[in-house]
Amino acid sequence: MRTMKEFLMSNCSRILMYEGLFGYGKSQILMEIEYLAQGENHRTIAIALTKISFHQNFYTVQILMANVLGLDTCRHYKERQSNLQSRVRRLLDEKFHCLLNDIFHVQFPISREISRMSTLRKQKQLEALFMKILEQTVKEERIIFIIDEAQFVDVASWTFMEKLIRTVPIFIIMSLSPFVGLPCAAASAIMKNRNTTYITLGPMQPSDIRNKVCLDLNVRSIPKELETYLVEGSRGIPYYCEELLRNLDRHQVLVFQQMEPEDKTKVTWNNLFKNFVKPTEELKGFSLRNEEGSEEVCNLVSGVRLKNLSPPASLKEISLVQLDSMSLSHQMLVRCAAIIGLTFTTELLFEVLPCWNMKMMIKALATLVELNVFYCFRNGKDLRLALKKNATSFEVHHRSSSLRPSEEMAHSEEEELRELEGEVIECHIIRFSRPIMQKTAYELWLKDQKKAMHLKCARFLEENAHRCDHCRSGDFIPYHHFMVDIRLNTLDMDTIKKMTKPRAIQAKEEISLAKSEVPKRSEFLPENLSPEEIKDTILGFFDLIITRLRAVEEDITPLESCQCEEVLEIVILPLAQHFVALGENNKALYYFLETAAAYLILGDNYLAYVYLNEGEKLLKILRQKKSWRRTFESATFYSLKGQVCFNMGQMVLAKKMLRKALKLFNREFPYNMISLFLQTHVEKNRHFHYLNQQGSESSPPGKKRLAQLYRQTACFSLLWRIYSSSYFFHYKFYGHLAAVMQVNSALETQNDLQIINAYLDYSLYHQLAGCQGMWFKYELMAMEQIVNLPLKGEGIEIVALVAGRLAHIKYIMGHLDLAIELGSRAHKLWSLLRNPNKHYLVLCRLCKSLFLKSRYKQLIQVLGWLWDLSVAEEHIFSKAFFYFVCLDIMLYSGFIYRTFEECVEFICQNEDDRLLKFQSGILLGLYSCVAIWYARLQDWDEFHTFSSRAKPLVSRRTPTVLYYEGIARYLEGQVLYLQNQIEQQLENAQDRGVELLKNLESLVAQNTTGPVFYPRLYHLMAYVCILMGDGQNCDLFLNTALRLSETQGNMLEKCWLNMSKEWWYSTLESLEDQWLQTVLSLPSWEKILSGKVNIHDVQKNKFLMRVNILDNPF
């Protein structure tokens, strides 16, 4: 519209060109433009061309002129002739009127002069006439000429239009598909004209697809599965999206139901992710209601598997036409690739292609990449980045290309294919650009041919179906392959041993420390040491390890970082799908469970859920067979389900699943108090037995037993956290039993990592429960366990893990100084080991400790490391945490590291990211921080926008630090809103205040809420009390918060508490715009660093919670 306004106000031509492939919505754009272009003092002429138009000389200009001269509405040639005669009488001699006969299908008498004229001269006469007519017309009204499918404009029309835009002010808007060959000279000149805006249309983004579907279906939300199906199937092409949706509607797959409030919907496994996908704020202005005025949601028919549906006939036809246009060899390559799957490696493709050499394959792939049949990627990281976001529309500056020498342009065209071949050689992963092509090509195979090809693929892939070398090549579910015989290729024992042998760091990795340097276990922590001496000993041990590792840094640095995600996507998951196609359900189940476990390790709860559902369908089939007796697979299935439910904050569901799993593992967890106390007695005896046996030599359990023990340990680790987070008093006994059973299972494995993890979990359980003596003992036992570990492979990682875990525990318990000391050492260890997946967690936790201690220089340094890591690894979670801390700095520290606008922009761009959306805590914290910002500014509309986004996440009560970070900020926002309600004297303000106080008290009462959160929670409780006129309890909570802040060394909260105390009881009047003034004067970190702003003055930039209602009616 801006270009159109410029045209109407200026005296020169404007050209707007939209280029895009079929289905990108070019025609729809032109229809919208035509509608918007209607107005006075200008005429809009819109035409659509076809293939035939290209072969009709001067056809486009003919249609333009027919509209300009008003001939398009004439019913008969006589009427057209009469109109023409009146319009051209003054411009053209009557004897030349017959020039118009052929072009406008009229019958003027042919004059002698015209009969003697050459065709070229006739054409020039016509062009001159048309130019005069258009010059005359634009003096009266401007012309906007819209051409759909402009790639079919004939050469003569391009030539005329090129002259026209130089002579007459006209606005030409056209859409076109990419030219098959080089465009004609006139078309190129128009594209390169300084007044031409040339836009290449990109596919829709996933959020736009969701908005479009919700708008088309007139619903408030759609299932995540449907969104994924449409995003992947359409690849952002609007027409494909519409056809896929139409196809689902035809097959009666979509079900429309009335929307229920989220808090009233009972959460089950089947609806765990059902209606989480809603349109973005851009659709806020649209009314998504049915005829009755109620809001609806879209669901899927029970049991449907969208990925198994055949593509719509209209889309298959497009793919078949494209296939038919290829050479036979290219068709064969595409068909073989279709069997392998949507994504595949060049190695596997070469394996299945019959009688091809590598050179032939590379050349064919390069051609198909050029034709947009395939995309190629150097590694899995590039692939994931490409899938996350589609290419956007962009403006092309053809004028700059006209400045290049023609020889250079010719040279680049010759070299392009050769360069593409070089790129394909470097790339190792190939993916179909459109899933419809893969499905269509797949359906061309006969059943027996498919089976043979799937078998070939499975045999090739299973050799690499294990974790990467960096992670010691094991199973994603430890020792899984020892429990289930699923291999097609027979392995000898040497190969199996080789697979289970740690290989992350090569032979020369072992570092021998001098005996005088490493203390023996008994000498490490002798009796009668003071806590301070124990602390120094432990920190000294980590320092010693870091020093020795730095001396041999080259030897311990892994050759490559973790490649498990790539293995998962191009080996494990395809294997599961090949075995499904082969009807080998037991093998497919094995790989679906491995896939789900891998996605849980990677933090992707949704995809773990998806593939557990795939596994469940196979389990149901297998259970019908009497010969199938795989309790381990069933138990693993339920334990993984429990883990997903736990991560999603559904504790009741998680507990149910974990109990089922333990029952199948023959470790049934008690249901009543009598069996609970009996089981506790048994487990305590077992515990002392294992501890007494630890020093003696005993044979380790077999691999099958180890597989069970590892899964049991994982179940117990989650169970004690679930029971500890409950308010019921008797649940603490269940929690204690689960913690003891975790330690016992770990001790039975005789694996150092399992034992140390269990010790630290047991210690944390007792610390949260307030048992002072017991936790200290098990922390020391964990330290003693790592003293004599060989410093190689897993041994080094265990040392780093312990440093990180201890730092995390100390942070939770409020020992901030020690958390920083340990966290700094964990950071040094993980940076030496170059393991970003572990390193980012340490940096996130270290940030929070430094933040509470107000050590800003160190905090900004750590944030810099976190940012660098998130950018280098494209790690969305660490980037989200970075912005979370940046918001905290603005809200509580009084300066700006990254602007508020940048933080909000990140949230809006990434709130639909799968890893963030289905992870408990981080989005809750981000939304709540923004809500607090607006609440402080009294902008209640924006407050409600972000608070309402945070509210559904509150119910995901996962007992993790990140959730408590988020819920504390959410409640702070609600407390500020309570102040506004009281100020406006709303009727329900008192009830709301009582409810908030109960929520804050219950959060403090939970065992799993670490003491580090108590000062903030007590601060908020004090504020609620003073708002409601309860001065006595306000004093109590305020003093408790101050005492805890002093004990923990929480300088941030202590400073704020003192300011609150002084402010609340002072006689100064509250200023309406106090926080606004503070915000406008917040200094940047650069100003503080340069010395322009004193760091001590920054401490005073705290929000003073308003209390102007001490004598309130409550």
Q: Tell me: the pLDDT tens digits for 877-933?
A: 999 999 999 999 999 999 999 999 999 999 998 988 889 988 878 999 999 999 999
Would you say residue 186 has pLDDT above 80? Answer: yes
Sign of CA dihedral 367, 373, 375, 380: negative
Q: Are 876 and 914 in contact (CB under 8 A)?
A: no
Give the orientation angle of helix 77-88 with respect to helix 119-140, to 10 degrees: 70
Q: Is residue 624 part of a domain?
A: no
Q: What is the pLDDT of residue 1105?
A: 84
Point out the domain boundary residue: 200, 225, 257.
200
Q: Are 152 and 53 in contact (CB under 8 A)?
A: yes
Instruction: Provide the phi-psi class of 57: left if phi over 0, else alpha when psi is between -120 and 50, else beta.
Output: beta
The pLDDT > 90 percentage for the chain reads 51
Give residues with Cβ within 8 angstroms of 1097, minimum separation 6: none
Tokens of 829: 């260890």
For residues 967-996, give the mean pLDDT. 92
First to last CA, the chain: 57
Q: Which range among 503-507, 642-646, 780-784 has the greatest average pLDDT? A: 642-646
For residues 96-121, give the mean pLDDT. 79
Give residues with Cβ within 8 angstroms of 845, minimum separation 6: 804, 807, 808, 811, 819, 823, 961
For residues 781-789, give the mean pLDDT. 89
DSSP secondary structure string for all residues of 849-897 = HHHHTT-HHHHHHHHHHHHHHHHHHT-HHHHHHHHHHHHHIIIIISSBS
Point out the domain boundary residue: 282, 308, 334.
308
In this structure, the chain runs to a length of: 1114
Same-domain check for residues 954 and 1069: yes
Q: Are 479 and 466 in contact (CB under 8 A)?
A: no
**pLDDT range class, residue 514, cuts 50, 70, 90:** very low
For residues 657-678, give the mean pLDDT. 94
Q: How far apart are CA 442 and CA 456, in angstroms?
A: 15
Q: How far apart are CA 822 and CA 538, in angstroms?
A: 9
Q: Is residue 486 part of a domain?
A: no
Task: Check residue 304 and report its DSSP letter.
Answer: -
Q: Are 348 and 403 in contact (CB under 8 A)?
A: no
Would you say residue 788 has pLDDT above 50? Answer: yes
Same-domain check for residues 300 and 322: no
pTM of the predicted model, to two decimals? 0.88
Q: What is the pLDDT of residue 492?
A: 46
Q: Is residue 546 part of a domain?
A: no
Would you say residue 507 has pLDDT above 90? Answer: no
What is the helix (H) or strand (E) element at residue 1002, kind and residue range? helix 989-1005
Same-domain check for residues 166 and 297: no
Q: Are 190 and 160 in contact (CB under 8 A)?
A: no
Q: What is the pLDDT of residue 516?
A: 43
Q: What is the pLDDT of residue 903?
A: 97
For residues 505-532, give the mean pLDDT. 57
Residue owning tokens 């990281």: 381
Give residues with Cβ within 8 angstroms of 1028, minimum separation 6: 982, 990, 993, 1112, 1114
CB hemisphere CA count around 657 (13 angstroms): 26
Nearest CA-CA partner of 638 in 623, 655, 619, 658? 658
Higher pLDDT, 802 or 110: 802
Would you say residue 628 has pLDDT above 70? Answer: no
**pLDDT range class, residue 412, cuts 50, 70, 90:** low
Q: Are 114 and 95 in contact (CB under 8 A)?
A: yes
Q: Is residue 361 part of a domain?
A: yes
Cross-strand bridge partners of residue 962: none
Q: How far apart are CA 76 and CA 270, in angstroms?
A: 66
Tokens of 314: 């209209």
The pLDDT > 70 percentage for the chain reads 89
Tokens of 613: 């559902």
Same-domain check for residues 158 and 63: yes
Q: How far apart are CA 749 and CA 734, in angstroms?
A: 23
Q: What is the pLDDT of residue 1024?
A: 94
Q: How far apart are CA 709 and CA 742, in angstroms?
A: 9
Domain boundaries, position 261: 206-308
Domain CATH number, residue 91? 3.40.50.300
Q: What is the pLDDT of residue 520?
A: 53
Q: How far apart are CA 1064 and CA 1062, in angstroms?
A: 6
How many other CB atoms are there within 10 angstroms of residue 805's CB atom? 24
Same-domain check for residues 293 and 420: no
Q: Is residue 574 part of a domain?
A: no
Tokens of 173: 């808007």
Same-domain check for residues 191 and 214: no
Q: How far apart are CA 462 and CA 441, in angstroms?
A: 24
Q: Is residue 598 part of a domain?
A: no
- Cβ-based burial of 602 (10 A; exposed 0-12, middle 13-18, buried ≥19): middle
Residue owning tokens 């707007």: 16
Nearest CA-CA partner of 33 in 9, 52, 53, 14? 14
Q: Is residue 854 part of a domain?
A: no
Q: What is the pLDDT of residue 318?
A: 92
- Cβ-based burial of 672 (10 A; exposed 0-12, middle 13-18, buried ≥19): exposed
Q: How far apart are CA 153 and CA 47, in angstroms?
A: 11
Q: How far apart are CA 978 and CA 323, in angstroms?
A: 64
Q: What is the pLDDT of residue 1114?
A: 36
Same-domain check for residues 303 and 318: no
CA angle 479, 482, 486 (to 5 degrees): 115
863-866 LR contacts (CB < 8 Å, sep 24+): 863/897, 865/827, 866/840
Q: How far apart are CA 49 and CA 35, in angstroms?
A: 19
Give residues with Cβ within 8 angstroms of 350, minimum separation 6: 356, 358, 361
CA angle 659, 802, 844 (to 5 degrees): 90
Q: How far apart are CA 223 and CA 254, in angstroms?
A: 10
Q: How many domains does the chain have?
A: 4
Q: How far apart are CA 845 and CA 852, in angstroms?
A: 11
Q: Which range among 139-153, 323-337, 383-397 has the greatest average pLDDT? A: 323-337
Higher pLDDT, 788 or 8: 788
**pLDDT range class, residue 33, cuts 50, 70, 90:** confident
Q: What is the pLDDT of residue 699?
A: 84
Q: What is the pLDDT of residue 379?
A: 85
Give residues with Cβ within 8 angstroms of 359, minimum separation 6: none
**pLDDT range class, residue 497, cuts 50, 70, 90:** very low
Torsion of Cα atoms, 151 then 156 then 158 then 160, to 10° = -160
**pLDDT range class, residue 498, cuts 50, 70, 90:** very low
Would you say residue 444 has pLDDT above 90? Answer: yes
Task: Check residue 355 and report its DSSP letter.
Answer: T
Same-domain check for residues 284 and 229: yes
296-321: pLDDT as tens digits: 888 888 888 888 888 899 999 999 99
Nearest CA-CA partner of 996 in 1028, 1033, 1038, 964? 1028
Q: Letter for the amino acid at 1087?
A: K
**pLDDT range class, residue 505, cuts 50, 70, 90:** very low
What is the helix (H) or strand (E) element at residue 766, kind and residue range? helix 752-769
What is the helix (H) or strand (E) element at residue 321, kind and residue range? helix 313-324
Q: Are 683 and 741 in contact (CB under 8 A)?
A: yes
Out of 23-32, 649-658, 756-765, pick the least confident: 23-32
Cross-strand bridge partners of residue 257: 297
Strand order in the sheet with 374-377: 343-345, 429-432, 374-377
Nearest CA-CA partner of 134 in 67, 203, 227, 58? 67
Please tell me whether residue 629 adopts helix, strand or coil conformation: coil
808-817: pLDDT as tens digits: 999 999 999 9
Same-domain check for residues 178 and 271: no
Same-domain check for residues 143 and 268: no
Mean pLDDT of all residues belonging to the chain: 86
Tokens of 728: 């019921």
Would you say residue 188 has pLDDT above 70? Answer: yes
Sign of CA dihedral 408, 410, 416, 422: negative
How many other CB atoms are there within 10 angstroms of residue 526's CB atom? 11
Burial 105-123, CB ≥16 within 10 A → b, else e: ebebeebeebeebeeeeeb
Same-domain check for residues 25 and 138: yes
> How would you write 152-183 as a 3-class SS string?
HCCHHHHHHHHHHHHHCCCEEEEEECCCCCCC
Same-domain check for residues 288 and 323: no
Q: Is residue 692 part of a domain?
A: no
Would you say residue 512 has pLDDT above 50? Answer: no
Q: Letter for the amino acid at 817?
A: D
Q: What is the pLDDT of residue 264?
A: 63
**pLDDT range class, residue 222, cuts 50, 70, 90:** confident
**pLDDT range class, residue 382, cuts 50, 70, 90:** confident
What stretches of 428-587 adopt beta strand conformation (E)? 429-432
